[in-house]
Structure 1
């Protein structure tokens, strides 16, 4: 659709926009020019002040030099002194030499000559002549007859020059200053500074292409100018003077101006006129905008009139009037309201559909209360699914090591779950299955596979699950375990299929993660009985407390026994929590420095590993590493004690003499020569267990070994491990293991 209205608006407003923009540019340009003009004036003011100051400094330095030489130069003073009239030749020569030296030392001075009134003689660096024969006798005469104070005076000096036998008159412009040297006869010294020196000084301070400077005497005549068109000793003409400054020392006026003129100067001179014209143009543009806006407002008004007849527009119109909302916002609000209402209805329908779909599935699985089997079948038809006589299979997909998954993908886990559910559906549909999937909790997703009765379909279902598991393992950074429930031929059996799939996937702790588990794998494995592992837990805990490395054998025995049986994750975690509790109880009896290692490090690490790991192999490997590290630290502390060797000797003595029925603290007192109470305390501090408990535990452990490895009678085994009475042996054995020696032998033989 063509933007006719847009083009119409554009063409309507564009001329006014261009006119106003040009006016703004003109005003900006004029403002910049005015600012530039003021900056130029300031710059020229500073320039003339600096030039004036510099010229005054140069001339004042010459004046100071003359004063100094008149006062201090002996040769010059002798020239004027009447006392040397008898030997004038010598004093005149000395004075000429002094004048020449002054010229050589001061390049700014062009010429110096001395005038002696009594004999009317004039001395220059090169000659001594009578006033009548001197070229500049006119200026000397005027100076001699002057009744005003001497000051710097610009003038033209004429000099006779002989060339090729002809006498020519050369002129040069100078500024001269006369100073009295002898007040008795009014003799004086005259210094001339060439105008070219002053001119070079001026040229060095300006850009001669854009700026000029006039140096004007008190009579208004040009002394020197950087403008070649200006005539010496005439009034300045042409060029606009921007700034002037008068010297308090010489009385001369320094004026400067700009050579740039033409149209720029003309525009600048009419600044206010141009500004008024710009404002008038802007006003014309605003009037045009108002006119065009009123003309273009008509379609908007028509739209508003049509909106006002819509249902609910009366209330909207009232709000618009009260809130003073502009028409475009009013139109936009009305359209947005209609669109939001439509979008809200669509979202509500979508959310209701998704919620309804999930509710139906959860009610079918028995996780929520439903409306009955007949209602389920109707709802499935609405969802595009059909329950056939061939039934369906419930499959549970569980993310392995979910705590690590959440930790690693804290912000992206919802996205990954969405990807997983889509991949599961696409993989199933690519193999011809009709499926329905939903997440039933944070880590598990259920998939219903509706079977079509094709040959080998159940095997194809397992292959499809293997394909899904393999895709996740290869393309994502986590793995899944899939549990496949039995076939549900009727819709009411789907709850049973789901529950069995949940039980099956729970056995991944024993069967391993990242695999597909079938019901047959669970049925063919014996179920574990937790109470059978309690003896290994007790033995492991007691030996670990005593610092005996034999604990690892009992721990390994428990692991190998668990590998042969099938345990759900909850059962396995319960068993390992029992082990942690036994260790906590046993190690709490150790000295504080040993118990602190368990309490502050090992205990927390065991709990953490139990929460993070899911399989039997992972849990036992983590537990073994933590316990080995803790025991190593405990043994280091024990070995650093001075009594450690004594305790080790006692422990070895018990190992060698455990068969002795009389083995007791009193017996050890006689063997080692130590007090019985001291031995008991030392033994308890080292191993966290009483002496009698340690001996009993060691004897029962040896008895268990003999019961399994030999055919000796229970009475013989009891006597061999230090119990003379068989009843005492049986009672102690059952107390330690929970079984009689006969029951223990029978259980081990049946494995």
Structure 2
């Protein structure tokens, strides 16, 4: 199937066998466990449910009997029911009414009687009776009558089983007789309270609690006499067998060849035993049905699973086979594949992938600050113009900016504090205020750090640059004891225009000579200086010059367009407009000469020959674009030259153990953070990764070409801690330096005989 019949692999057959075992062994165990647990659990649940119901019957019966006992005690202490009061002609009626109230306290009492020793009468809620009248009204069986008469003189409560009693209307009722002696602060009773209880009141409550129970229910007293019973369709069970049941729980009895399940509960209060009897098949009908269902289900699973296990095993082996082919063709570091188990080969490869993934994650964590700084520089240089793209990149880098206003602050270093340079850069990399956040990045020129500050204007009493910037200045003076030179760009409402604020901040920094050295220069203040402008705002000219120096085409064209519009909108003479146009031309040429772009002035004749402002604007655009492109090209060349010098220095000195990013930064007059980011941008790897690559390649070369000790080789490569280098070498190469040398030697030994045989054959 699927071409696997052409593959002769023991793993395939082992795989098929393992799938069969994996299917059947758990299936057998789980089937037995599930079968036993489900049946036992269901059986226990059924038993416990019946026990709980029977306990409810017991508790209800105990509660009612306790009520009757309490009634008897209350009657014995009721002064209105004393022998004198009940026999008194005047108070006797009140006593009878009191008995009627006691009778109403219990719903199971058919009638209540009060008897005093030596008295010829018996008293009830309906009045007093002579014994003869009582016997005529309630005609008990002769033997039962004698038992009741004898029990009237008893010192203990006595309950007589339910019997059929003929009442005065010749109606027969099954009644339970309960006699409770009455005493008042003495151990010797002076009378008794007689309760006639309807059996239906007891059996009715049993039926209500047991619900759709179809068996028999019995209540035995402490002498194993049946007090009452509720018989259903199964007929009367062998009572003698039931009388032998002493413990609470579930048991079984056999009666006339049929097995019955018996549930019994004994009351600790009354000593009575409550018993239910039900045919076992009916009692455990749900268990029997579950057993049949599980048996059929198991058979069907075994029949279908046998074929499915084999088919699944073969289908699952196909990806392993394909993956093994892929590894064999693409992984050149796999050795002895034919002698290895396919799964072991895959395991080794996956382990290598996971190891590489872990290493990549570590590299990403290390490179995260470089990516952040590079992204912030792209924003400052105007390389990102779409707000949606900017927001997406911000989210991916975890940079949170407020959503209303943005501006850029330049903090220029004081040359007198080089030792605090790195600390200041780290301090300014991220700052938070109540309504603003600030992200700092070293720009690499002007010896300054650019802070991109975002403000949330939705908060009441929101702040602006003139409140936030002095706070930054105070923080620097407080923490580093130095007075910064700060310039501030204007506010913008779009992230894509942050580069404009950056150019304005650069322009303000160049024009700071108008202020004190330690003052804060705001770009917006440049236009407010008491200088009279004729054509266009002075700050726009400054911004235009700075955009050309930065090579920002978008801002440069946008600014010069605004300058021409300002000139055109002013009511000036033609001569004055021409002078202003020549001033703009002169500004462009001065910038070109200042930054060393003399070749951009060759087309000056074509530029100065213009008939309108539109012609001049159109002719200047190509020159502006050429200047910006040339600035970017020179920046790239300068970066490339600087990178070559730094790389050359690292290549020449990588074996020095004291080679560090700080030393190189000091040599090339750069900060370590900027140098680190610069190297990452230019080479694609960090300084540590680049130096490690040079050193490990040198170690591998010396291991293969020389017989020097590993310790000397490691020391020559620039490492002092040999043990630490060995661990890192094994993590990178998968083997220790000693194993690498042996592996390289074994490869040479395998190759040399082949060369000798070739020579001998050719000879």
TM-score with structure 1 length normalisation? Answer: 0.38
TM-score with structure 2 length normalisation? Answer: 0.37
Larger Rg, first or second structure (1 or 2): 1
